[in-house]
Amino acid sequence: MRLRVTKRQEPLGWGACLVFFGALAFSLAVSAALLALQGKPAFIGIRLLFEGAFGSRWALEDCLLKAVPIFLCALGVAVAFRLQIWNLGAEGQFALGAIGASWAALTFPALPGSYLLPLMFLAAALAGGLWGLVPAVLKLGLRVNEIIVTLMLNYIGILILEYKVYGAWKDPGSFGFPMTREFPAAAIVGNIGATRLNWGLLVCLGCGAAIALFLDRTRLGYELKASGENIRAARYARLPYGRLVLLVMALSGALAGWAGCLEASGSLHRLQPTIMAGYGYTAIVVAWLARLNPLNIGIAALLLAGLRVGVENLQLDLQVPAAFGQIMEGLILLTVLAGNFFKDYRLRWREPDDA
Amino acid sequence: MRRWLPILLIIALMTAGTLPAAEKELKVGFVYVSPIGDAGWSYAHDLGRQHIAALPGVQTAYVEAVPEGADAERVILNMARKNFDVIFATSFGYMDPMLKVAKQFPKTVFMHCSGFKLHQNMGNYFGRMYQARYLSGMVAGAMTQKKILGYVAAFPIPEVIRGINAFTLGAQAVAPDVQVRVVWTKTWYDPATEKEAAKSLLDVGADVIAQHQDSPGPQEAAQEAGAYAIGYNSDMTAFAPKAHLVAPVWNWGPFYEQIANEVRDGSWKSRSDWYGMEKGIVALSPMTDLVPRTVQDMVLAKKAEIVAGTATVFKGPVSDQTGTLRIAAGESASDEALLGMNWFVQGVVGTTE
């Protein structure tokens, strides 16, 4: 009796959900075993993880707050990935967005919030979007591979950010430390009621819904998806491939730019090099976990944020090393992506006489 | 009954960890920027934590590798919510996040290392590492043949610039025509980058490598090239036994003990502590056998003067790279000038940007 792999004819539907949570449960079980190997109480550990991520109002707030930049960046790269444009540059576009927003906040500190905040978002979208357009133009004009250009532009973007905060924008009252002045109150995205969450969450919901509608309900969105499935067929059908590339890269950059804007305005209240926490790279992981679907990206961003927040709780109470969190993250990613195999294929026992 | 046994076991396991402690202990939390296995900055703080964890009635916990910025705020907040009595945050970037949390938890004591902001329940602390750097500079000045010293440095911020200047002044005290070449890595802890940076300095002729980095990468590079190396944070002899001369090191244990005691008996007050070698927060590791006896004696004599307060590191005349006099003859730099130092002394090759 042997195993036989066959391609599924019908999509899995709700079974896909089952596969996802099965994979999640499997990776958590392995993590628990790893905890036990270190001599830590495994069940308590997993419970601490959940408590830290979703177990209280505070935890949920922390988790949502952490998910905001991840979600926006992931949404952006997912749009590009749909067209099979491999934008690995969300990190740099995030940096440029933060620079754009900070430029607006530092140049027009006297403007009232109702003008300044929209101006910051506009500047962030422009800076991030234009940064995203560079690899698109190079790809279309000179056939330069966008994977390399987007990746390299990350380093340049971060260096520009450092150049500004170590130089012209450095707060004279910071004892020489690299940070801008604190933004004026009008440049800070307000909190929702008494929570730690800011209105950036609403921006996320709006962007998520808009992208979902764009992909599913508009002609351009359809053309984008069609071109992504088969570029040559799309060209044959005279779909505007070049314009689509420009569009997705600008959109991708603008969304990452908004994430940068929200981090600077909502979380840090200034620009400083530590704003670069690697969300642009996390976004790539999240986009793939979610199979490029906007709603799923929301769920995946929240789960990954929950994992990162929860692991801190686990660290604090059980004193496990920080690397354990990364191991868990890797495990989950590996099992969930491997689980995707079962969405497209099925395993069957092959009877000896079958062959 | 048998089928319930596993479930009962699970419930027992889950509750075992939540039993209340028998008596009220002082809960002390630490937030580190890098993993404690780095043999560097966070490792040195963690030795301090272990020192107070061994005291009766003190319970400690740490979270390592916490990025500066929004993540730090959450970690500090989580500790405050869990009723920690004192929280030590040991990186500059934790300053603003900690201040935000301090304002929400007036009963918790917050201690921030290497910053400058204060609140009624938030103090800051640091050590005068430049004193030990000066001494390590003397060792380097005595050991160099080519009169070129390499310095692998993290970020162009006052703390690091101050250290480079002190190191250079120390080296010049022994070898007046010595040159200190600086390379910025823009990382605190990245063994590969820091090792490469050290190699680039060795390539331009440096024969002693000093570092303001948390990894022993530069030490390894120096040993491979047959040059000497000066460590940082903790005694790094084990990483490069054939190259390591000495290291300016941190010794946080006594200070953490002092703060823990103050918080326990209620005498703690918000303030800035900037202690030096006289309090033992900053120290010089033992010099290895590579350093000749005469040099060791000379350095130890100077160390005794610094500890006694009869010698100051930043004493005029001191000029910057352009030759402009920055500290007049006979004067000493004020703490304010030291904390905001953003210029190199004459003899340093490199820029502060």
Q: Are B267 and B302 part of one and the same domain?
A: no
In a domain, B154, yes or no: yes
Nearest to A286 by CA among A271, A265, A268, A304: A304
In a domain, B219, yes or no: yes
Q: Are B168 and B229 part of one and the same domain?
A: yes
Q: Which of A228-242, B6-20, B116-130 has the highest mean pLDDT?
A: B116-130
Nearest to A90 by CA among A313, A344, A297: A297
Interatomic CA distance for residues A174 and A169, integer angstroms: 11
Which residue in A has a C-alpha nearest to residue B30's C-alpha? A316
Q: Are B98 and B51 part of one and the same domain?
A: yes
Beta-strand relationship, B348-349 and B179-184: parallel
Q: Would you state the pLDDT for residue B18? A: 45
Q: Are B118 and B143 part of one and the same domain?
A: no
Which residue in A has a C-alpha nearest to residue B162's C-alpha? A176
Q: Does the pLDDT at position B17 exceed 80?
A: no
3-state percent helix, strand, coil for chain A, nearest multiple of 5:
75, 5, 20
Judge contact between B303 and B265, C-beta under 8 A: no
Q: Are B45 and B142 part of one and the same domain?
A: no
Instruction: Report the b/e string of B188-213 with b at 16+ CB within 10 A.
Output: bbbbebbbbbbbebbeeebbbbbbbb
Q: Are B234 and B150 part of one and the same domain?
A: yes
Q: Give the number of C-alpha atoms closer than 13 A to the C-alpha of residue A31, restricted to the C-beta side.
A: 30
Q: Which of B232, B261, B278 is the last residue of a domain?
A: B278
Contacts of A319 in chain B (CB under 8 A): 61-62
In a domain, B12, yes or no: no
Q: Would you state the pLDDT for residue A353? A: 61
Q: Does the pLDDT at position B146 exceed 90?
A: yes
Q: Are B198 and B316 part of one and the same domain?
A: yes
In a domain, B243, yes or no: yes
Indicate the number of domains in chain B.
2
Name residues whose C-beta falls within 8 Å of residue A352's C-beta, 6 or more positions apart in sequence: A1
- pTM reported for the whole predicted model: 0.88
Contacts of B17 in chain A (CB under 8 A): 41, 44, 317
Name residues whose C-beta falls within 8 Å of residue A108's C-beta, 6 or more positions apart in sequence: A116, A119
Judge contact between A285 and A333, C-beta under 8 A: yes
For A316-325, how does the pLDDT look when each residue is reduced to its tens digit (9 = 90+)?
999 999 999 8
Each domain of chain A, given as residue ranges in start order, spans 67-310
* End-to-end CA, chain A: 10
Average pLDDT value over all residues in chain B: 91
CATH fold of A67-310? ABC transporter involved in vitamin B12 uptake, BtuC (1.10.3470)
Q: Are B116 and B133 part of one and the same domain?
A: no
Q: Are B209 and B234 part of one and the same domain?
A: yes
Instruction: Report the b/e string of B247-278 with b at 16+ CB within 10 A.
Output: bbbbbbbebbbebbeebbeeebeeeebebbbe
Strand partners, A5: A347
Q: Are B269 and B304 part of one and the same domain?
A: no
Which residue in B has a C-alpha nearest to residue A164's C-alpha? B353
CB contact under 8 A, A312 and B93: no
CB contact under 8 A, B81 and A176: no
CATH assignment at residue B217: 3.40.50.2300
In a domain, B6, yes or no: no
> What is the mean predicted confidence (pLDDT) over B268-278?
94
A189 DSSP 8-state letter? P
Judge contact between B135 and B248, C-beta under 8 A: yes
Question: Best residue in A64, A91, A165, A177 to probe B by mutation, most B CBs within 10 Å?
Answer: A177
CB contact under 8 A, B157 and A177: yes
Interatomic CA distance for residues A234 and A246, integer angstroms: 16
Q: Are B179 and B324 part of one and the same domain?
A: yes
Q: Are B94 and B219 part of one and the same domain?
A: no
Residues of chain A with pLDDT under 70: 1, 351-355
For A149-187, how does the pLDDT look when each residue is reduced to its tens digit (9 = 90+)?
999 999 999 999 999 998 899 988 777 778 899 999 999
Contacts of A62 in chain B (CB under 8 A): 74, 77-78
Other C-beta atoms lying within 10 Å of the C-beta of residue A96: 29
Owning domain of residue B146: 129-247+285-349
In a domain, B9, yes or no: no
